[in-house]
Amino acid sequence: MFVPVIMAGGSGTRLWPLSRQLHPKQFLPLVDAQFSMLQATINRLSGLVHASPQLICNEEHRFLAAEQLRQVGLDYINILLEPVGRNTAPAIALAALQATAQGADPLMLVLAADHLIQDVDAFQRGVQTATMFAEAGKLVTFGIKPTSPETGYGYLQQGASVGNGGFEVTRFVEKPDVETAQIYLADGGYCWNSGMFMFKASRYLEELQTFQPEIILWCREALEKGRQDMHFTRVDREAFSKCPDNSIDYAVMEKTSQSVMVPLDAGWSDIGSWTALWEAGPHTEEGNLLKGDVISVGTSNSYVDSESRLVCTVGVSDLIVVETKDAVLVAHKDHVQKVKDIVEKLKSEGRKEHIFHREVYRPWGVYDAIDSGLRYQVKRITVKPGHKLSVQMHHHRAEHWIVVSGTAKVTNGEKTYLVTENQSTYIPIGGIHALENPGVIPLELIEVQSGSYLGEDDIVRFSDDYGRC
């Protein structure tokens, strides 16, 4: 039996405008309309004998991650929260230290939450092969048999066979240029570096202690000074911030003499660009991948994704067109790696479209910022049954709530009362208030804010069911 350690950090900037800082690609249903990338990662473990997964994610994604776990039946899984990003070596060290804290020494299968694997059977056979080597004390890395001269992946040079489907790793290679990638593909002795691993928790910690002891030092202190918050493990920010920023490849795998590579031919992709998502198919006869309300005429080899309105294309080819409620991306497939440059421009100009969507998820539900202008903003708010927003007040805005469906339990100053469908209520500036859904169906309401400042940071919380301040 092994513990799946699923790393769900990262922002996926190359898949903007769908992937954003507060709702990155691992939480999006990019390939499967029913499940997010994280949920698909969990689902492909079905049939393998394993312990409860250990999820590692950024602190700001904690409620989104918890909700997606709940949707696939994992309501009470412990989630390790990273207060700051420090790459994969420290993240895995946190999981290994926590796993061994009570004297256990489990096998750890380290997976990224945002990978596509189309052949689940082949993936599971690879895991079973890796288990034999990991139980013998080896540090296993999974190499992906290349199908094209990719320049966006690192490579592993395959060495001599060690039997039972495993190979030595001669060297790790950085992302190559096109000519070098073509040589690797023709050589047949190179694999893409998948970023998936398997080993005993203790073996990883031993090797990390040998090659990067500072990571062990600060990760241990971060856990010791951390605290448990519901089913979240919050590590100490100050200690973890001192930890070296290093990947598991640089910190351990490139230095250890105990590595073994298990080749994997399972339809793998890290979905690192819009072109990679287009390649994942399925395609029309013209080679298009169309999602949403799309009409295409004379269009070929293109990816067109419409979220909220009709999108039409005429006489174009090799394009990426992605429409969301607040942004539209049009890019040539040969230049999709430059999408991250758009994100950098948004940051430098102080805009917010790289941070969150118009639709924003909260632990209690979701809100959609429908409209805004000088001194007003309109939101459609959905509150899940049994959930409550924090008891709060605002210094600069008043709020009008109109219930569309369901029943709202409203705290407004000293009064608490019910507001039902087609009724409304008013919250004055400075009024202490709260909103709760006491019913069994979602509560939907329209909120009209008015005032001199309407930013999300104009919230003073007095109590909160979710530990926010």
pLDDT band at 467 (very low <50, low <70, confident <90, very high): confident
Residues 6+ positions from 57 with CB-CB distance below 8 Å: 8, 9, 65, 79, 80, 81, 82, 113
**pLDDT single digits (tens) 412-456:** 999 999 999 999 999 999 999 999 999 999 999 999 999 999 998
Domain boundary (240, 269, 298) is at 269
Residues 194 and 146 in one domain: yes
Residue 95 included in any domain: yes
Residues 163 and 24 in one domain: yes
Residues 199 and 298 in one domain: no
* Domain ranges, residue 297: 282-343
Domain boundary (293, 316, 343) is at 343
Residue 353 included in any domain: no
Query: What pLDDT does residue 221 have?
Result: 97
Residue 104 included in any domain: yes
Q: Is residue 469's pLDDT more than 70?
A: no
Query: What pLDDT does residue 100 have?
Result: 94
- DSSP assignment letter at 67: H
**pLDDT single digits (tens) 223-264:** 999 999 888 999 999 999 999 999 999 999 999 999 999 999
Query: What pLDDT does residue 415 have?
Result: 97
Residue 275 included in any domain: no
Residue 349 included in any domain: no
Q: What is the DSSP string of 130-165?
A: HHHHHHTT-EEEEEEPPSS--SSS-EEEEEEEEETT
Residues 84 and 107 in one domain: yes
Residue 468 included in any domain: no
- DSSP assignment letter at 322: E
Residues 160 and 291 in one domain: no
The closest alpha carbon to 132, from 168, 155, 166, belongs to 166
How far from chain centre, in Å, is Cα 220? 25
Residues 219 and 309 in one domain: no
| CATH number of the domain to which 407 belongs | 2.60.120.10
**Number of domains composing the chain:** 3
Residues 305 and 399 in one domain: no
Residue 206 included in any domain: yes
pTM for the predicted model, two decimal places: 0.91
* Helix axes of 213-224 and 201-211: crossing angle, nearest 10 degrees: 120
Residue 469 included in any domain: no
Residues 119 and 263 in one domain: yes
How far apart, in whole angstroms, are the C-alpha atoms of residue 10 and residue 91? Answer: 12
Q: What is the DSSP string of 262-313?
A: EEE-S-EE---SHHHHHHT----TTS-EEESSEEEES-BS-EEEESSS-EEE
Q: Is residue 381's pLDDT more than 70?
A: yes
Residues 297 and 363 in one domain: no
Residues 258 and 287 in one domain: no
| CATH number of the domain to which 215 belongs | 3.90.550.10
Mean pLDDT score, 208-216: 97
Domain boundary (222, 246, 269) is at 269
Residues 204 and 166 in one domain: yes
How far apart, in whole angstroms, are the C-alpha atoms of residue 260 and residue 161? Answer: 9
The closest alpha carbon to 365, from 354, 379, 377, 346, belongs to 379
Mean pLDDT score, 309-316: 98
pLDDT band at 281 (very low <50, low <70, confident <90, very high): confident
Mean pLDDT score, 205-219: 97
Query: How confident is the prediction for the chain on average, in pLDDT?
Result: 95
- DSSP assignment letter at 21: T
Residues 458 and 389 in one domain: yes
